Structure 1
């Protein structure tokens, strides 16, 4: 791959995740401080991510794979996203805000698969080349958080209360516009299905990958993936709100520690995976969720602030050791014919079904545990997903039977 192509793909990844990290991290804080939402309304806003993930295979499978170049669809979706993000910036209440965030997520979630498709199409050895490109997405997310916290301080208590967090949508609007235009300059990625080639709707949407669930171990992993997304949803939905309410300074910048650790543990994952196997790796990821939320429950911004920072930094283990390992495990279980479809299936299960359930549960819990003076009982709110993660980890540990390699006869 030429340097020019590497640069184009890296900048594409940078913008793709700068856009996501530029508004999604502080969404919970914005909704309560600026739109005075309830937990249920906040859950509805975050659930749009899940609806986008559920709808995405139809856009990719029925349109991108069959009719149009991936980079062109990527450009069109981000241009639409820029318009919708500007409307979110202008929304004055939740009733006006919700339709735009819903439409935006339906447009954005398919782009996660499209940037991968554009990248893989240029690679002769994705196993070695993709990581170098994808890491720029994590850097983009980190830069977005640092920009919000350290450059503009939109997430400070005073600025958030004054409505300055609204500017995150304007920043993202501009980035979406840039990526929308830039996408038409990316390497051409033609449809995967040639003209005249016949494929069933089941094949196009990748539904035939559900045959993997006939394997008992994979079924247990699949169900655990859905259930562990409930604790994950608590983090996405409540972390910025929680840290804002307890008045942590530069909270978005500090939350970027999670992405820094993600890069570190991504490098350690192959070593751990090779030495301890899939079951122990997945269990470490689940247990990290237990520890993270216990740290959130008992930490504070004073003498125990280190507990909050460790909880944030555990994101690398929480995400990489379960979700990235799960993608590797899924790839190993799927045959060549179902590799892409299997990845789509596990994404649908986690970001679609699992997160949808998780956001709803998080909304109910957040509304339920409120103190008489109107503040949130954060200790109880965080201990609940920690307990859920304990149950998921124990069930997985007992039910999942890792197969040892069959020894070769002498």
Structure 2
């Protein structure tokens, strides 16, 4: 029924754990499913389930976060009575298909779940339909390999009707050769790329003429050893999908409301923002409404280049002094301010102009020290939990 290699105890445990998460989320009450997640929950990656895959019925994967991806499609199959072009259709089948992929925490493994249901067919119930999962390293010059270059799940229509969901797991091994163009710190991370591909098929006798339409998809996975080197820098799974995920900031949260308002004012070009934007320029980091404003640009994490971070900080603080004077750190009624800046210092964008960009593309404002530190602490947690490494992109999205 299934073509799989045996799993060791650790892989079985990971499979069981994620399967339980998937099941528990799938059977949640309607009220629980409808509840609006908090900002903290939105910033924390959670496994994707069949019920939380919101991909449209189109080719290509939809990525929920750095560790979860899925594809929704509709299988459509026609079988002809003979191989000749003029032969009539003598059997059809259609079904809804969802494939979810979750990178397993603390491992270099991916758990693939496959759901097929909603059959409408006049084919024999013994007709066998399957999914082929293929895994290959992006580069062949190193030692990177997949423990299963290919795996298949094949069942009859009757068996799919009885059990819609199937799971299998694959592991990513080895490493790419170091890229000499990268700094030594990134080379030490041993970043290694793989490609996962999914496709559907129908088992049929040789010479059968047929047409099969499905949403075959292919996407990349990157693995590394960062969690072993420095878990405060990157944690979760040892692999990640190349997804630009969102860091949500809450303008209604009293703990970081001042910093969140600074970000919000900057991205909408508010008159309260300083420095004022030049004509036609925008603050990077905000994806726009629905992510449709394609001219927007994400932020890029900058972890190792501390000199650039210090340069960003110097420009930001000089701007605060220029606008609010040398005593901007003193708060009326007591307490201290810090010169909050967006984009953040630990990004390539920051407050230092790059590439001859005319005029400022950043905003600053004196905010309560505790407020800005709270925001930066949440940001660091988000970056580490989502395995966003030096050079990876992400978006910032104010809410409320």
Band of TM-score, shorter chain? under 0.3
Q: Which has the higher contact order (CA 8 A, sep 6+)?
A: 1
Which of 1 and 2 has greater Rg?
2
The TM-score normalised by the length of structure 2 is 0.25
